[in-house]
């Protein structure tokens, strides 16, 4: 009996010792965080750990980037955004989801290895396995999901209609129930300039040895 208790305690401690799931890696302007169950709004600083159901609010010029602890999935919030980060810690992984009330979000999601990354807004639900995308959400006008890489499924919550969105496409989902996909234009990415959602920089690396035998590296970055 005593051994059972000890084993239970170990397991519970292992599972519940911490509910940390992500960390704020970049914060600019006015950004605050509200912990689950707490009415208090605190200023978000870089390096702060975030737990399941923490709500992040950005001011007009605010910007925040958060990174999940298990796989470096990055979520960026632009100005005037309201986002709740969620994650269930199971084993060595975190089952992640985002609940966007409104605002502009950019995410670079590492492949989830069988798990689904859900993004919910008042109008839509997106199912993501691994991708890079931007989301602009407004409860009164709807959402736009722009895929920079990968594949997602978007469901309009009012009609239940589901469509696949591929790289280079933007899905627009409205509270009136329409759900359409079009080829992405620069207008779809307007407002996301601060999120650096351009195609990532490529690198070429060469190692060279000088006369003294020191190894030096030449890095050529190109886009």
Partner 1 sequence: MMIMKKNFIYLALFTSTLFSQSGVLIMSPEPNSEISGNDVLIAISTFGMKGVNPDNIQLLLDGEDISDMAYIDEEMVTCLLDQLDPGLHQVQLFLGERGPKTWSFTTTLREPTLKYSGRIRSSSSMDQIDNQTLNISRVMVDFKGSAYEWLKFKTNVKLTTQEKALYQPRNVLGLELSLKEYATINMGDSNPRLSHFTMNGKRIRGLNANFKWGWFNLHVVRGGINRAIEGDLKKAYSYSIDTDDEGTKFLSLSRNGYTFAQNVMAGRLALGRGEKFQWGLNFLKARDDTTSVNPILNDATIIYSPSASGLVTELDSGLVYTIGELGTKAQFLEGKDWNGDGPKDNLVIGTDLGISLFNKRLRLDGELALSLTNTNIWGGPLTLAALDTLMDDSLDNKLSSFDLSSFPDPADYEKILIINPNMAPLVPIDINAFGDNATVDLTDAVLSMPSLAYRGRAITNFYGNYLALEYSQVGPEYNSLANPYLVKNKREWSISDKFKLLQNRLMLTLGYKHQDDDILTIVEKVKSQNTLSLGLNALPGPGLPTLNFTFRSIDRDNGIDELVQLTDTTFSDNRENTHTNNFMVNISHRFDLVWSHALSGTFVNVNKTDKFNDRDTNFVDPAMSINVMNFSLSTRYNFPLKTSINITSNHSELSIGPGERGNQDFLTTNFDAEYPLLKNRILAKGGVNYAQGSGLVDMSWLGFKGGIRWKIFDRFSVNTQGEFRSKETSGVKKNTVIARANLEYAF
SS3 label, residue 208: strand
Nearest approach, Cβ of residue 41 and partner 1 (Å) = 14
Nearest approach, Cβ of residue 12 and partner 1 (Å) = 11
Nearest approach, Cβ of residue 49 and partner 1 (Å) = 6
Task: Of 65, 88, 38, 24, give the one whose Cα is nearest residue 197.
Answer: 65
Nearer to partner 1, 36 or 176 (CB): 176
Q: State which H helix or E strand residue 11 sits in.
A: helix 2-16
Site residues (vs partner 1, CB under 8 A): 1, 3-4, 7-8, 10-11, 14, 17-18, 20, 23, 25-26, 45-47, 49, 60-61, 67, 69-72, 80, 82, 91-94, 101-102, 122, 125, 138-140, 155, 157-162, 164, 175, 177, 186, 193, 198-199, 202, 219, 223
Nearest approach, Cβ of residue 211 and partner 1 (Å) = 21
CA distances from 88 to 16, 81, 132 (A): 11, 23, 22
DSSP 205: E
Task: Of 22, 129, 130, 97, give the one whose Cα is nearest residue 67.
Answer: 22
């Amino acid at each position: 009996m005593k051994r059972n208790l000890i084993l239970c305690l170990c397991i519970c401690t292992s599972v519940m010792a911490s509910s940390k799931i992500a960390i704020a890696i970049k914060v600019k302007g006015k950004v605050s965080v509200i912990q689950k169950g707490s009415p208090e709004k605190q200023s978000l600083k870089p390096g702060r750990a975030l737990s399941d159901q923490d709500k992040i609010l950005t001011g007009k010029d605010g910007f925040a980037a958060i990174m999940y602890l298990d796989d470096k999935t990055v979520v960026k919030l632009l100005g005037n955004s309201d986002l709740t980060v969620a994650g269930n810690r199971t084993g060595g992984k975190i089952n992640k989801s985002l609940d966007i009330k409104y605002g502009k979000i950019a995410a670079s999601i590492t492949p989830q290895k069988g798990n689904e990354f859900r993004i919910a807004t008042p109008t839509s639900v997106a199912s993501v396995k691994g991708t890079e995308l931007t989301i602009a959400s407004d409860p009164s006008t709807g959402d736009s999901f722009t895929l920079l890489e990968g594949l997602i499924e978007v469901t309009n919550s009012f009609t239940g209609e589901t469509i696949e969105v591929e790289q280079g496409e933007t899905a627009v989902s409205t509270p009136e129930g329409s759900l359409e996909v079009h080829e992405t234009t620069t207008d779809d990415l307007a407002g996301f300039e601060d999120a650096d959602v351009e195609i990532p920089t490529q690198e070429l690396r060469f190692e060279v040895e000088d006369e003294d035998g020191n190894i030096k590296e030449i890095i050529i970055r190109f886009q």
